[in-house]
Amino acid sequence: MNIAPEAKGKEIEAEHHPLVLALQEKLEAQGAEQEKIKEELNSLSEGQQNIVRTQDDISTKLSAILAHLANYP
């Protein structure tokens, strides 16, 4: 691209190529999708932690019940 001497150092307004605009839109959409996936992953992780706590609680209670029943032949 040739730049006229009087335009050197000045901001030149140029229209972006349609392909560049399309790629920018896709990149923005991918960024939004990635954030959505991160949020879903965090939610799943929290749910998984709740399940583990519940399983531990059930296991503890079951062990207590079995220990109590073992005292009665």
> In the predicted model, is pLDDT for residue 16 greater than 90?
no
Domain count, the chain: 1
Q: How far apart are CA 64 and CA 60, in angstroms?
A: 6
Q: What angle do CA 50, 52, 53 make, to 5 degrees?
A: 65
Across the range 3-28, mean pLDDT stands at 77
Across the range 39-54, mean pLDDT stands at 95
CA dihedral 42, 45, 47, 48 (to 10 degrees): 170
The reply to whether 63 falls in a domain is: yes
What pLDDT shows up at residue 32? 96
Reported as type and span, the H/E element at residue 52 is helix 18-70
Domain span including residue 67:
33-73
> In the predicted model, is pLDDT for residue 27 greater than 70?
yes
Across the range 15-36, mean pLDDT stands at 94
pLDDT band at 33 (very low <50, low <70, confident <90, very high): very high
The reply to whether 13 falls in a domain is: no
Q: Which residue has the tokens 């079951």?
A: 62
Average pLDDT over the chain reads 87
